[in-house]
Chains A and B, each alone.
Chain A
Amino acid sequence: MNGMNNHWTPDQPIGRVLRASTSGFSAGTRISHIEQPEFGMLVRAQPQNGSTREPIYGLLYNIHIDDDPMIRQLVLADSVSEETINDQHHHRLVPVEMSVLAVGFRAYDGSLRHALPPRPPLSLDPVFLCTADEVQELATRFDYFRVVLSSSQVPSEQLVAANLLLAAQTLPAHEQYPFLVSAGRELARLLSNDMARLDHLLRLIYPGEPA
């Protein structure tokens, strides 16, 4: 893939769009790039230069590695050399698939809207990890919680908790706990009718001291 090598920098894409719909998309990448994306991260599908399409933001909720006939054979071998493994990691023709739940898009006026995008990204649009500024911009409001919590295709509690913990890390230390408390209160508002789910989610964010 163009622009992608073993020495990754933030302005490089972590992959490209494989499949897409307005509710989300999948991106493919090399197995050697799997150290950058994490479950719960905010990513952006960026349209090609010159396109009038809007950048689409989403939460990475699944990283999937498919097998192929070669891998099937290799896993049965008595021993696999390090060279073979490295070769599979760097030159394998089956991409690592990352699933993304769309939570917002950049509108024409420049604002970040917490809503499903008007159209999906196109195949091969580059997908970037969002910068700390973008993460904080999304987290100034918690409107995207409802999209995540109401989605049946994602592990919603795990995803919200992971995203909040990652978002908190972009803040100065003294702002992290108040941020998590205000996010927690918004979750409590949304899940006021489901205490068990809320309790589970909050404990994922802050497990507390072991008993």
Chain B
Amino acid sequence: MSQSASELDAFFGARAGRLGVVVGGSLSRGIEVKLDPHTDIEELAAGRYVVVHGRDHDGRHNRFFSMITDIGLGNTNAQITNTPPDTSNPYLAEVYMGSMAYGTMHVSPMLMINKESEVGPVRTIPPHFQPVWTATERDINDVFGHEDEAHFHIGNPLELENTQINVDLKRLTERSVGIFGKSGTGKSYLCRILLAGVISRRSAVNLVFDMHNDYGWEVHNEHGRVDKGLKQLFPDRLSIFTLDPESSRRRNAPYDVVVTLAYSDIEPEDLGALRNTMDISDAMLDAAYTLKRIWKENWIQTFLTADVEDLEEIVETTSINASSMSALRRRLERFQRWGFLTPQPQGDSVKQIIDYLENRTNVVLEFGRYGNSLEAYILVANYLTRRIRDHYVKKVEESLGDRAKEPPQLMITIEEAHKFLEPKIAQQTIFGTIARELRKYKVTLLIVDQRPSAIDEEVMSQIGTRVTALLDNDRDITAVLMGVSGAAGLREVLARLDTRQQAIVLGHAVPMPVVIKTRAYDEAFYMAMGGELQGVHTKRKRKKNSDALYGDDGFDGLD
């Protein structure tokens, strides 16, 4: 041996340790591994990576890059469970553990690196008794590549903190993205990190409906420290719009534009999105359409100021019944409490937002105190998105004849997404339409939600990339993993994530499902984003693999 172990470590990164051998399994269920006696079962964890080496051919072998999805205890004789050996004798304990009593793990093969070092999907499994090793930094880098213009570092694999997991930003933004997790698991941080990546690399322009003022300007985190907002990281690439300038002033948060909307801009379709939130019945919705037809664009204002005789006349001359009309009026009266809705708005806020977006300036729309009103959030998000999407449809169609008119890829971020995308209303809201249209009109969604099970199944199936923090509700876990191969194993992983700074990323933007320790949103991150603005990137090493793995763009949702 001419090279010392440390020299080999320096060259290859940390060396792999053998964990066990393949003893069973199938392509659909995953692989069963019997652990070697020396393997410390407590050192294993669901979500970590292992590599199964295929049969050796002239010193080369396939590598099955896999994730630990379950860990268990086995024995060769059931009697040992009834009469456990005397483990006070250390020799007996050491002999029995690893022979008659042993550890097992279940691993799901995620990718195969063939003998030519090309990465591809798994279409077979290794034979019996092939060795299973811990994944090294080198294995991870072979799969996830290095950070560069198109790939953004969002975290590290568990236990391999010197290795980066990078998402493909182009693929991230060309399909809708979901960020899920129960309350308090850091969804906003995840979202901010992803948005920072998208903004820094300009892979899409963003419109963020910022319900709780989490994204634009600084925010106090739970440790009492102040985290910078995206405006502070990207002052020239992002503008803050606000519906509530008073709140912005109170928070000492600068803003660029105040958004006001006219009553006349509200369409009955916009009320459709509020059907559940404001308990608007079909009869009330029909009444709204009728009133719009009668009173034209000022229908809401006219309705709210109409006297009793006017309303009675409407009831007599139309099919609207009196109770539906009075119920609708009571609901619309709530609009009067919202300062951003006025009879005479200052300027055309929709046009302003579109202009900013077309100039590739990202927009964060802060709701101020109106963020506490779900009705206001849904109404505004739905209203603005409908018009922006209409504009995009027009521009994209025009660009078919003239590529210069092609608008930039737009990603719209909405929180409490299940309120927009419930099965009952997803068919009717603009967000349901965008989610289903895929990238046809260059508009995609970034939905942030804690109840993915409440989102329409068809919409969920069209979410390209899912970033999921801890979920402990079975229905939510099922919803997130719907359509993912090897979901049974991932369930266990998902239910056992830490409550903080851990997430699974799966889908379109990563080569395989991956559990990450999320990148910290701290000074180092701000510095890195500062470096991004000056064009400092590392080079991606294995572009060839990436192309081979992702192939072309023939995506039809998760398989």
Interfacial residues, chain A to chain B (CB-CB below 8 A): 177, 180-181, 184-185, 187-189, 192-193, 195, 198-199, 202-203, 205-209
Known: A202-B92, A208-B89. A185 touches B80 (CB 8 A): no
Contact across chains for A185 and B91 when beta carbons are under 8 A apart: no
* B520 close to A (CB within 8 Å): no
Residues of chain B within 8 A of A192, CB atoms compared:
76-77, 99-100
Contact across chains for A208 and B92 when beta carbons are under 8 A apart: yes
Q: CA separation between A120 and B399, bound complex, in Å?
A: 95
* B25 close to A (CB within 8 Å): no
Q: Nearest chain B CB to A201's CB is how many angstroms away? A: 10
Chain B, residues 338-372, CB within 8 Å of chain A (1/0): the string is 00000000000000000000000000000000000
Residues of chain A within 8 A of B99, CB atoms compared:
184-185, 188-189, 192
Q: Nearest chain A CB to B21's CB is how many angstroms away? A: 14
Residues of chain B within 8 A of A207, CB atoms compared:
89
Contact across chains for B77 and A185 when beta carbons are under 8 A apart: no
Residue of A193, A195, A203 with highest tally of chain B CB at under 10 A: A195
* B95 close to A (CB within 8 Å): yes
* B88 close to A (CB within 8 Å): yes
Contact across chains for A208 and B91 when beta carbons are under 8 A apart: yes
Known: A185-B37, A189-B99, A208-B86. A202 touches B91 (CB 8 A): yes
Q: CA separation between A180 and B89, bound complex, in Å?
A: 14
Contact across chains for A180 and B92 when beta carbons are under 8 A apart: no
Q: CA separation between A76 and B99, bound complex, in Å?
A: 55
Name the prevailing secondary structure of the A interface residues: helix
Q: Which residue of B lies closest to A206 (CB)?
A: B91
Residues of chain B within 8 A of A177, CB atoms compared:
91
Contact across chains for A208 and B79 when beta carbons are under 8 A apart: no
Contact across chains for A181 and B77 when beta carbons are under 8 A apart: no
Contact across chains for A193 and B77 when beta carbons are under 8 A apart: yes
Q: Nearest chain A CB to B462's CB is how many angstroms away? A: 52
Q: Which residue of B lies closest to A185 (CB)?
A: B99
Q: CA separation between A193 and B75, bound complex, in Å?
A: 11
Instruction: List 18 additional A-B contacts (Cβ < 8 Å) besides A177-B91, A185-B95, A202-B91.
Output: A181-B95, A184-B91, A184-B95, A185-B37, A185-B98, A188-B96, A189-B76, A192-B76, A192-B77, A192-B99, A192-B100, A195-B77, A195-B100, A199-B86, A202-B89, A208-B86, A208-B90, A208-B92
Contact across chains for A180 and B91 when beta carbons are under 8 A apart: yes
Residues of chain B within 8 A of A203, CB atoms compared:
89, 92
Residues of chain A within 8 A of B100, CB atoms compared:
188, 192, 195, 198
Q: Which residue of A lies closest to B85 (CB)?
A: A199
Supply 5 A–B pairs (Cβ within 8 Å), ascending by A: A185-B99, A187-B95, A195-B77, A195-B83, A202-B89
Chain B, residues 112-127, CB within 8 Å of chain A (1/0): the string is 0000000000000000
Contact across chains for B37 and A206 when beta carbons are under 8 A apart: no
* B390 close to A (CB within 8 Å): no
Contact across chains for A181 and B92 when beta carbons are under 8 A apart: no
* B161 close to A (CB within 8 Å): no
Known: A185-B37, A188-B100, A203-B89. A195 touches B80 (CB 8 A): yes
Contact across chains for A199 and B92 when beta carbons are under 8 A apart: yes
Q: Which residue of A lies closest to B82 (CB)?
A: A195
Residue of A177, A187, A199 with highest tally of chain B CB at under 10 A: A199
Residues of chain A within 8 A of B94, CB atoms compared:
181, 184
Q: CA separation between A105 and B91, bound complex, in Å?
A: 31
Residues of chain B within 8 A of A206, CB atoms compared:
89, 91-92
Partner of B91, one of A189, A195, A198, A205: A205
